[in-house]
Amino acid sequence: MPESPSEPDEATVDAVGKLVAAFETVEQARGQLYAFHRLTGSADFALDEAAEALRKAGHSEWAEQIQSELIGLNVLPERWTFQLVEEYDDGYYAAFRELTRDVSGDLAGGRRHLHEERIKRRRRTDGRPGHEMGRPST
């Protein structure tokens, strides 16, 4: 039964909640992709120091091999990590985000965390400081 006449039924709230939870997992994956991008770039720039140290230590052949074979190497065919990030953001991520917003907009009045809002309503102590309900989620 809906919490109020303007709110969706519990099954709808639960279904939208599952979709939002799946999108939150995609957000987490996106963060990991950005971390991969940053770490890979940092490692590539660190190779400059390694090659220079090898040169100074008298191992110019290894330094040259690192310089010519490893520095600037594509992580996937024809792709550096920034291209992976952009393609993920513009493709899968954008489609997932848009559909999640559309579904929550249509079925939950745009309140993506209505499921959690209902849990908060049930678990808080009415009138106790720090337990205020606050404005509805958006």
- pLDDT tens string 50-60: 999 999 999 99
Structure tokens at 118: 């209902």
What local confidence, expressed as pLDDT, does residue 1 receive?
43
Instruction: Report the C-alpha gap between 52 and 54 in whole angstroms.
Output: 5
- pLDDT tens string 60-116: 999 999 999 999 999 999 999 999 999 999 999 999 999 999 999 999 888 878 878
Instruction: Report the C-alpha gap between 125 and 57 in whole angstroms.
Output: 68
Tally of CA atoms within 13 A in the half-sphere of 39 that contains its CB: 6
**The overall pTM is greater than 0.95:** no
Q: Which amino acid is at 124?
A: R
